[in-house]
Amino acid sequence: MRGGKKVSRAATTMGKNELPETTAMKDFLALIKIGIVNSNLITIFTGLWLAIVFNGLHFLSQLDTVLYTLLGSSLIIAGSASLNNFIDRDIDPLMERTKGRPTVTGNISYLKVVTIGLAFIFVGTVLLFLTTITAGFIGLIGVFSYVVLYSIWSKRRHVSNTVVGSISGAVPPLIGWAAIDPNLDIVAWMLFLIMFIWQPPHFYALAMRRCEEYRAAGIPMLPVVKGFSVTKRHMIIWVLALLPLPFFMTSLGTGFVVLATILNIGWFVLGLSGYKMKDDLRWAKLMFIYSLQYLTVLFVAMVIFTVI
């Protein structure tokens, strides 16, 4: 990475207005997709916390494992994101939300991008194996599913790319749980299922809003290939699939089951409102915002309900 402020070359290439100036640190954080890293830390920590509680352990006695897990997971996610940026370097200039990435602007060389990605994945995997073998292997499954199954294989070829990509997005809480208890409880698998099912409606909402960008980039997202009507139906079905999951998590208490059910019904009702709302893009924005709040509230609630 070169120091100092940069101005993107992508704007000239695309014939658009110049992108905002950036710095070496901003470029690095964009490369590793720091927003994705931070959001996954919530689900990883929840998996860790619940495994500690369910196994009757004390949090401070497991502090080394917690630190290894959070740092190791962050590194493999950041490393995978770096490799994803390298793989998508030819299509990212075609999309408004990705045209400022350092792999597009040239602010970070491809060699450095790949080196950072592989190094982070290696160190992160070592840290996870210092917790349990299960956590280490789950971490590797997450890397493989995101870099190979999603980024290289399905993203540009199959309309099911979002579902394939949901595998990698669902493993973080499993890593957290497995780092404490390799014998994954049913609650751990419910965390995985919540994350897996949550992602299609979340990303389909984003894809609806960015439909023309995905079309220009040649990415076969569901709204591009099947249209908005089919996408809306798929989103509602995925949200509907979340409804029974809280009832397999009664060990977290009645309060959690009630809260999770209310959140699920609220999302389902919002989904149905899409058939009455004339502005599909406004509805997609509401669904996207709800999905973000849904995930945060749900996973924070899991921790709170096991504390009180």
For the segment 141-178, what is each residue's pLDDT rounded down to a tens digit?
999 999 999 999 999 999 999 999 999 999 999 999 99
DSSP three-state, residue 226: helix
The pLDDT of residue 285 is 97
Checking if the pLDDT of 271 tops 70, the result is yes
Read off the pLDDT of each residue in 194-214 and give the average, rounded to a whole number. 96
Rounded Cα distance between 33 and 146, Å, is 14
Has residue 96 got a pLDDT over 90? no
Residue 30 has pLDDT above 60, yes or no: yes
Tell me the pLDDT band of 13, cut-offs 50, 70 and 90.
very low
Whether the CB-CB separation of 290 and 202 falls below 8 Å is answered with no
Tell me: pLDDT of 10 over 70.
no
Q: Residue 205: what are its φ and ψ, rounded to 5°?
A: -60, -45
At residue 18, the pLDDT reads 58
What are φ and ψ of residue 66, in 5° steps? -60, -45
pLDDT at site 20: 63
- The pLDDT score that the predictor gives to residue 126 is 98
Output Rg (C-alpha) for the chain, integer angstroms.
20
CB 263 within 8 A of CB 9: no
Mean pLDDT value across the chain:
93
Q: How far is Cα 128 from Cα 115, in angstroms, rounded to an integer?
A: 20
Q: What percentage of the chain reaches a pLDDT higher than 70?
A: 94
